[in-house]
Amino acid sequence: MTKKSKPGVSRRSTLALMGAGAVTFATPWVARAQAKTIKVGMPTILSGRVAQLGTSSRNGVTIEVDKINAAGGLAGRQIEMVIRDSKGQPQEAARVARELVNTDGCELLIDAEASSGAFAVHEVARDLGVFCIHTNSETSSLTADPKQHIPNAFRTARQGVHDSIVGGGYAAAIAKAKGLKKWATCSPDYAYGRDTTAEFVYYLKQFAPDVEIISDAWPKLFQPDYTEVVTKILQAKPQALYSALWGGDLTSYIDQANIYALFSQMEVFAVNMADYTALTVVKNLPKGIHSGNRYIKTYPATAENAAWADAYKAKFNEYPTNWSWENATAMMLLAEASRKANSADGKKIADAMRGLTIKSPFGADGTVTMRAEDQTLIGYAIGWGTTIPSEPYVPEVKSGDWKQILALEAEWKKSKGYT
């Protein structure tokens, strides 16, 4: 008689499956301590609508890490990046950050999270005491609010309030010259959009007191259709429009507003226009949109900046973004601080990094500084200009004055009760 096979899975294969499960379960927790290389963990967003944030952050870091490793690494130790996707969820960002430190043995963190993720990673840094650089969060309070301050966390991203001061000053000068009194705003409906718009309007009115806002539109983040927003603005008939839309939202908005010839009816100030993510994607880039510089190859107009952008383009076959330079700057500062401290120890690097000034292709005067008091980046190139439809897209950029920025920032901090 032949033996009938039993229905379902056999006991032996069940055991094998369970064994395999146990192995996958246990291996990650075997921390691999390697003295020679230093692991740097990087939680970021590599999937979903803002995946470009993660890929350009990774590229920005990679290009610098290659240079640092070729030059001998951090105090003689080669850098190994461990980059993980948080899917843009703060609890995942916190988990990934913890795992990078506790399991993968990362000694330093580059936090390339956006918005809420950065605050979640900040708490992890506070909890574990691990050295951490925030590279993408532009929310001013992350470093400005003394309650957030911890000695081991830094920021190399631009800061919302800096942009608003420069933007407000630039827009006010044009408003005065062209007599633009009636303004409208159109910004994404979340913290970044609301805060930056409020700050911009505040400084615009500071510099040009007779400006009034006659209409405001708040499209949802990642909204696909902007018809109602465009018509609302057109009906209000403002003389000028401010927008903090960015990335895909900004390009969709421009493509749709172009149909209504919005750009010929008013002056448009779009702070996030001058970034290759937007410039190269818009179908018909209108002439004369005013924009802050996010990242463009021609500003600062130095050989170093152009060379950096070309090297980046050659390596990744795309232009750098705002996120690229912010992350590259983190690695540059890290390398210099480590050299100065002659150590790869997070605490010593942090001590060396406070107040550190380095040469940088992205500096307003060829250098950037990690300000000691609130551990955030200052002195980076910041300015506004107008667009043309083809390269170099923004031919002339009017630079912001860092003396003025710092003075007004100090006032702003006081008004917020931060100092």
Partner 1 sequence: MTELQAERAGKPLGVPRIEAKSQRSRYLDVLIAIAAFAVLATLPFLFSSKALLDFVIRCAAFGLFATSLNLLVGYTGMISFGHGMFFGLGAYSFALIMQRTGVPIPVAFICTLLITTVIAAVIGAICVRLKEIYFAFVTLAFQMLIHSMILSWVSLTGGDQGLRGGIPRPVFLGVDLSNYLHLYVVSCALLVIGLLLMRQIAQSPFGYTLRMIRDNAVRASFIGIDVWRAKLTIFVLAALFASTGGIIMSLFVSGAYPEFAFWTISGEGIFINMLGGVTTFLGPMVGTVLLLIMNDTVTRLTEYYGIVLGIVILFFAIGLRKGLMDFVVEWYEVRRDGAKERAR
* Closest CB 209 distance from partner 1, rounded Å: 27
Which residue stretches of 280-385 are H helix? Answer: 303-316, 322-341, 346-353
Q: Which two tokens stand for residue 213?
A: 């806002």
Beta-strand pair 357-359/367-370: antiparallel
25 binds partner 1 (CB under 8 A): yes
96 binds partner 1 (CB under 8 A): yes
Note whether 87 binds partner 1 by CB under 8 A: yes
91 lies in the site for partner 1, by CB under 8 A: yes
**Residues linked to residue 367 through DSSP beta bridges, in sequence order:** 359
Query: Quick check: 418 and 144 in contact, CB under 8 A?
Result: yes
Cβ 290 to partner 1 shortest distance, Å: 27
Stretch that binds partner 1, among 68-76, 87-95, 222-230, 409-417 (CB under 8 A): 87-95
Residue nearer to partner 1 on the CB measure, 128 or 301: 128
Residue 90 engages partner 1 in binding (rule: CB under 8 A)? yes
Query: For helices 191-207 and 160-178, what crossing angle results, to 10°?
Result: 40
7 near partner 1 (CB under 8 A): yes
Binding status of residue 191 toward partner 1 by CB under 8 A: yes
Sign (positive or negative) of CA dihedral 356, 361, 367, 370: negative
Compute the distance between CA of residue 39 and CA of residue 82 in angstroms, rounded to an integer: 7
Order of strands across the sheet that contains 367-370: 357-359, 367-370, 377-378
From 28, 72, 224, 389, residue interacting with partner 1 (rule: CB under 8 A): 28
Applying CB under 8 A, among 38, 50, 77, 119 the residue interacting with partner 1 is 119
Closest CB to partner 1 among 2 and 25?
Answer: 25
Q: Which is nearer to partner 1, 7 or 179 (CB)?
A: 7
- From 238, 167, 250, 178, select the one nearest 202 (Cα to Cα): 167
For partner 1, the closer of residues 213 and 221 by Cβ is 221
The interface region with partner 1, picked from 4-12, 200-208, 240-248, 390-398 by CB under 8 A, is: 4-12
Q: Specify the residue, 127 or 391, whose C-beta has the smaller distance to partner 1.
A: 127
Q: Count the neighbouring beta carbons within 10 Å of the beta carbon of residue 85.
A: 16
C-alpha to C-alpha distances, 341 to 75, 77, 132, 251, 331, nearest whole angstrom: 9, 14, 17, 45, 15
Minimum distance of partner 1 from residue 69's CB (angstroms): 23
127 is an interface residue for partner 1 by CB under 8 A: yes
Burial of 202 (0-12, 13-18, 19+ CB in 10 A): middle
- Which DSSP helix (H) or strand (E) runs through 398? strand 397-399
Q: Is 329 in the site for partner 1 (CB under 8 A)?
A: no
What mask of x and - would describe binding to partner 1 in positions 30 to 59, judged by CB under 8 A? xx--------------xx---x--------
- Chain positions 286 to 315 lying near partner 1, rule: CB under 8 A, are none
Token pair, residue 340, equals 């100065």
Specify the pairing of strand 108-111 against strand 131-134: parallel
Determine if 126 is a binding residue for partner 1 (CB under 8 A).
yes
Q: Which of 21, 151 has the CB closer to partner 1? A: 21
Structure tokens at 321: 């973004």
Instruction: Name which of residues 141 to 180 contact partner 1 (CB under 8 A).
Output: 141, 147-148
**Is residue 89 close enough to count as binding partner 1 by CB under 8 A?**
yes
Residue 244 C-beta-side C-alpha neighbours within 13 Å: 27
Task: Note whether 94 binds partner 1 by CB under 8 A.
Answer: yes
* Residue 126 or 176 with smaller CB distance to partner 1: 126
User: Cβ-count burial of 322 within 10 angstroms (0-12 exposed, 13-18 middle, 19+ buried)?
Assistant: buried
241 binds partner 1 (CB under 8 A): no
Taking a C-beta distance cutoff of 8 angstroms, is the pair 149, 375 a contact?
Answer: yes
Nearer to partner 1, 42 or 74 (CB): 42
Of 148 and 399, which has the nearer Cβ to partner 1? 148
The residues that touch partner 1, with contacts defined as CB under 8 A, are 6-9, 21, 24-25, 28-31, 46-47, 51, 84-85, 87, 89-92, 94-96, 98-99, 102-103, 115-116, 119-120, 122-124, 126-127, 139, 141, 147-148, 190-191
